[in-house]
Structure 1
Amino acid sequence: MTLPKLFRDRASMWSDKTCVKVKREGKYRDASWKTFYEEVSATAAGLMNAGLSPGDRVAILSHTRYEWSMSDAAILSAGGITVPLYPSLTKPEIVSLLRRSGSRYLFTSDAELAKLVAGLIDEVEFVEKVIVFEEGALEGISSKKFVSLKSFSSGKVDRARLDARIDAAKEEDVFTIIFTSGTTGEPKGVMLTHRNMISNVEAALSIFDIGPGDLHLSHLPLAHVLERLGCYVMFYSGAAVAYAEHINKVADNMAEVAPTISVSVPRIFEKIYAGIQAKALEAPFLTRQLAFRAIKVAQKVGQRRDSDQKIPAHLSWQFAIADKLIYSKIRQKFGGRIRIFVSGGAPLAPELALFFNAIGIPVFEGYGLTETSPIISANVPGNQHAGSVGNIVPGVQCRIAPDGEITVKGPNVFKGYYQDEAATKAAFDEDGWFLTGDIGRFDQYGCLRITDRKKDLIVTAGGKKVAPQKIENILKLDKFIEEVMLYGESKKFMTALVVPDFAWLEKYAAYKKIPWTSRTDLVADPKIIDLITRRIERAQAGTHLASYESIKKFVLLDHSFSQHEGEVTPTLKIRRKNITERYKPLLEKLYEEG
């Protein structure tokens, strides 16, 4: 099975059934498989008529939307290779990735991105056509390379020619080149084959019961392999996909479409949890007390369920009341039907998993990499353990190397890095096991637990190894802390950069009548520094951190880490090397002070 054959077969099987839901003119509207595949075929024909040959690269620079999936399916059906580009990339990054991939065609979405591409099109002379989803986005663009999707796909479809392209595709053919977000250096082009992705789709469907009647709300960037896999799973199984209008509209869209399935990243869950706390804090006194009590009850119930312990009668009674008054309302915010909420891309704090699972919003944390298509392991219904990433999925082999590194084999493991034989060779050991770069272990349940990235481990002056992500995740649960990055390589103690949650910090300043005119003033105020110090100490005291793991000093920043400055990836993972280089003088000063 290849992906273009999948699209053709499903369109034939489920012609009149809903394939996608798209919001147009203020309302979500259904599009059938017949409609979807007609647009796929017309766009594929446009590519072939424009001269696309099998194996040619075609880039997509767009936010998550219906046309992204449709264009991807069209590129593959025409025999092309999709190169996803994050819409948040800078102009030099886009130029570099277009050059490295040698993309002949580029799909983009709206006026903002079309204008960005128009400003760089002369630097990428090999790009022959820029196909723009929104016709109005062409206004003011004079380059003849630009064309609307409607015009581009208006030609006649030669069905026999298109079918021949689809039939010619082989399972071992590369269908996409995904440039990794590059937390540790230059992005590498991961080549995935049809077999890689289909095997992972089938593995996902063997552990999750998904099919007709299910609805997935797509909101993560489709340039990210996890969201793309999620959509392929729906297309394979007969479930439908609804596309969120924008990442900031996800909550509204969930209430509108009532999804049964969604895929997200820990940062989204952190924001949802912080939002629940914020709403509780703004409520009248009695409601506020009830809400915070309900949060504690959910944590206790979650912990007992997670460890298969019996829930005492008094706790069950409290939970039942909280469910009726609090939890049911939270579930309704998600549309009231959610039964599979997958979390991936970064570690999820166990406290968050326990809370959401307890209140009836099942969060299944998984683990994988772009190079593994991406799923290696996942928590599943009936076998969830907070803090773990679940059991290894069917068809995948996993072993822990002597140094603790997780290594993998299986049909999901990528073909190699595009035009980089040295990096490809370095990614595997002498026995052909893929080296994930993550440190982990198996627990008593047979679940995989990730300690940290191998390259991220901090070795102190005393030779102690510190896993920064574990500590950072603990601190980010505090409502006053948005982001943290630990520092302390070859040092006597740990320090950190701390980004406060300015919404909460400003409320605190108003409550305590702390004067400030800028955020720089605010974070420099002794009362604010004392607040964050106490919050860090309290968070660390509530865990089993060793003394050498605890943060002794910190720098409080007056701004968030910036993707534009190269400090975070498009999926909001911190780029430690870049951040360290930028803020090293401030961090080193903490050690000079004793």
Structure 2
Amino acid sequence: MTVTTGFQPHSVLKEKQPDGTILLRSNHKLGDVVDRTGDWLHRWSNDAPDRVFLAERSGAGWRQESYASTLQKVRAIAASLLGRGMGQDTPILIMSGNGLDHGLLSLAAQYVGVPTVPVAEQYSLIHGAHGRLRHAIELVRPKMAYVIDADHYAEALALDALQGVDVIASRPGHNTRVSSFASLLRGDASVDIDTAFAKVTPDTVAKILMTSGSTSNPKGVETTQRMMCVNQTQIADALPFLRQKPPRVVDWLPWNHVFGGSHNFNMMLANGGSFYIDDGKPVKGLFERTIENLSLVTGSLCFNVPVGFSMLLDALQKDESLRQRFFDDLDMIFYAGASLPQDIWQGFEKMAMEVKGEIPLMTSSWGMTETAPACLMQHEPIDRAGVVGVPLNGVTVKLLPDADLRCEVRVSGPSIFENYFNDPDKTASAFDEDGYLITGDAMVFVDKDDIDKGMKFDGRISEDFKLLTGTWVRAGQLRLDMLACLAPLASDLVITGADREQIGVMIFANKAELEREGFSLEDDKGAYRCALLQGEIHRRLVERSREIAGSSSLISRAIVLSEPASLPEGEMTAKGNLNYRKVLTRRAELFQRLYDDADPAVTIL
């Protein structure tokens, strides 16, 4: 296997503590770190003033901002914010998705120390999700809010919680209480912008990122300048090719999430790269826009979630011209959100070799909103998915192994957060007695005798449960196994069995696939009762059972749900993750049916 990109070799120091815990650290030294994101902007506006930094679709082409024009507009917007009385204690709520004005406003706020609070646009656009929006508003008490289009967001802007808040819109429409984004670009000559910028320190809160809320109401993670700046140094230390050639992305991942908004956005800014905003998404009806965007510009890096890579691989197989352009300058394929199916991984490897005779670095990392996000990264080439790598420079990973060498993961370092916004109790409970962040995630070594081979994610500790027999079930890993087993019939699923004798699975149907295959009969209580579908699931469960040993991973019963997971009802987070507790509570009747041997909708092994 020939990999095109340069990388920092893994070198991990392992230290076993008297209490049995294990500490892992990188043997490499952390590189130089800037104090503020504005320092990156100043550097590149000086070194590469005409290079495209941000671009979004406009008609048949792109609306673009160079590094020089970005800095000029950021300083004007920042002066306007200060002139309107904004500061560290007056957050800006950003209710819209990715966009050029969104990016300029965020950078301007960071430039003078005004926190931004980007929230999922679904919270504003879906009536039933307004509760999540209200929660964010009541938590952070913003003084200003931004939307791209006031008419499109009119229902959300009319919420009582936003009364008295200064609303800014790129397209104000007919709303008389809304100011135009263009008004911010006029600046404010009375403001000493250089003095304000100089007061921003590494400890200044740059933004408040809302957690997914998969187990409780979302928390506000205070993300400091230090967290973001250190993390980009850590990533570039591991991937030195980022510093050798300006990177370029065509990226859709939402900026309210740490992956898209901190990891990817700041990677372009820190390394003088170009960020082309993809207004498509890996869903039916929008993915075509992604392909159109890629026909205009392709990236040197490609970030996506597994379903996005699956759709992209299919599109590349059908379009020779796009395939050639996609791989021509590609240095890295990076997946996150879930493990990439091995057949998709191998499909990209095979295609890359056919097109250019080399394979880009294919990799992933591990982190959380609270960790800026990258903590571990696989920065050496490997031939399979599922490995999240080794600690990045400056991070200490604390492992609490069990008898099977599965380890609970805790972390510390300069890129780790210190506070949840206005929530000292949850902040205190987030750290152990030694100051390590309690992540709740579990990992295993790829090779316990060679720690440089890295670690694999092994589910959430909180998702594990015991059967009545006392057998532990690792539900997180089992879910991934079952998604592979039931693909493409299942869009997602919930593993059940706590305090039961058998493990069950509640399957969220991939309706389009089921209907294509003729599995279309539903009952009046929210489940599928199609004999053909149940027969296919039974066949797959039987085949799987022949390959496993022990009751800890044997699925004995299944039910297919006809109603998709609901964002308004809290069953799904804005990131697309299931809230398992909410699903089981809201669908208690279906859960009971799953363990009823007489129910005709239940498939029993």
Please classify the TM superposition score into its range, dividing by the shorter chain length.
0.7 to 0.9
Q: For residue 142 of structure 2, what is the aligned residue in structure 1?
A: 103
Deviations 1:51-90 (A, max 9, x none): 1124421111111122221111011113201111110112
Of residues 574-583 and 540-549 in structure 1, the stretch that sits farther from structure 2 once superposed is 540-549
Of residues 331-340 and 74-83 in structure 1, the stretch that sits farther from structure 2 once superposed is 331-340
Amino acid across the alignment from 1:203: Q
Q: Distance in 1 between matches of 2:371 and 2:556?
A: 38
Note if 1:43 corresponds to 2:74: no
Q: How does 1:222-371 map to 2 (within 5 A)?
A: 222-228=255-261, 229-247=263-281, 248=286, 249-272=289-312, 275=314, 331-332=323-324, 334=326, 336-360=328-352, 362-371=361-370
- Could you say which structure has the greater relative contact order, defined with CA pairs below 8 angstroms and 6 or more residues apart? 2
Task: Provide the alpha-carbon RMSD of the alignment.
Answer: 2.7
Q: For residue 501 of structure 1, what is the aligned residue in structure 2?
A: 510
**Please, which of 519, 530, 535 is the counterpart of residue 530 of structure 1?**
535
CA separation of 1:106/1:330 partners in 2, compared to 1, >3 Å: closer, same or farther? same
Amino acid across the alignment from 2:134: V
Matched-pair contact (CA < 8 Å) for 2:339–2:385: no
Matched-pair contact (CA < 8 Å) for 1:251–1:334: no
Q: Distance in 2 between matches of 1:359 and 1:193?
A: 41
Matched-pair contact (CA < 8 Å) for 2:295–2:322: no
Q: Distance in 2 between matches of 1:347 and 1:383?
A: 14
Shift of 1:24: 0.8
Matched-pair contact (CA < 8 Å) for 1:349–1:474: no
Amino acid across the alignment from 1:532: I
Note if 1:423 corresponds to 2:437: no
Deviations 1:310-344 (A, max 9, x none): xxxxxxxxxxxxxxx88967844846543312222
SS of the equivalent of 1:246 reads: coil
SS of the equivalent of 2:388 reads: coil
How many residue pairs end up in the alignment? 533
Q: For residue 16 of structure 1, what is the aligned residue in structure 2?
A: 50
Shift of 1:345: 3.0
Q: Distance in 2 between matches of 1:519 and 1:480?
A: 20
Deviations 1:264-311 (A, max 9, x none): 2234235546x57xx9xxxxxxxxxxxxxxxxxxxxxxxxxxxxxxxx
Shift of 1:441: 2.3
| TM-score normalised by structure 2 residue count | 0.82
Amino acid across the alignment from 1:149: F
| TM-score normalised by structure 1 residue count | 0.83
CA separation of 1:56/1:6 partners in 2, compared to 1, >3 Å: closer, same or farther? farther
Q: For residue 28 of structure 1, what is the aligned residue in structure 2?
A: 62
Shift of 1:182: 1.0
Matched-pair contact (CA < 8 Å) for 2:363–2:381: no
Deviations 1:318-375 (A, max 9, x none): xxxxxxx889678448465433122223344445434434433653121100111110
Q: How does 1:175-214 map to 2 (within 5 A)?
A: 175-208=206-239, 209-211=241-243, 212-214=245-247
Amino acid across the alignment from 1:16: D
Matched-pair contact (CA < 8 Å) for 2:409–2:442: yes
Matched-pair contact (CA < 8 Å) for 1:183–1:575: yes
**Please, which of 118, 125, 129 is the counterpart of residue 163 of structure 2?**
125
Amino acid across the alignment from 2:208: I
Deviations 1:477-496 (A, max 9, x none): 32222211111111111111
Q: Distance in 2 between matches of 1:527 and 1:454?
A: 36
Q: How does 1:54-133 map to 2 (within 5 A)?
A: 54-89=88-123, 90-111=129-150, 113-120=152-159, 122-127=160-165, 129-133=166-170
Deviations 1:224-273 (A, max 9, x none): 01112211111110111000123222233223211111322234235546
Q: Distance in 2 between matches of 1:204 and 1:108?
A: 32
Question: Unaligned 5+ residue runs, structure 1?
Answer: 280-324
Question: Unaligned 5+ residue runs, structure 2?
Answer: 1-34, 124-128, 353-359, 599-605
Note if 1:473 corresponds to 2:475: no
Amino acid across the alignment from 1:57: P
Structure holding more helix per residue: 1
Q: Distance in 1 between matches of 2:87 and 2:554?
A: 57
Amino acid across the alignment from 1:131: I
Q: For residue 299 of structure 1, what is the aligned residue in structure 2?
A: none
**Please, which of 185, 196, 209 is the counterpart of residue 153 of structure 1?**
185
Matched-pair contact (CA < 8 Å) for 1:346–1:573: no
Amino acid across the alignment from 1:398: V
CA separation of 1:268/1:452 partners in 2, compared to 1, >3 Å: closer, same or farther? same
Deviations 1:456-499 (A, max 9, x none): 11211112222223222233232222211111111111111112
Amino acid across the alignment from 1:258: T
Q: Distance in 1 between matches of 2:184 and 2:370?
A: 33
Of residues 348-357 and 489-498 in structure 1, the stretch that sits farther from structure 2 once superposed is 348-357
Matched-pair contact (CA < 8 Å) for 2:527–2:561: no
Q: For residue 141 of structure 1, what is the aligned residue in structure 2?
A: 175
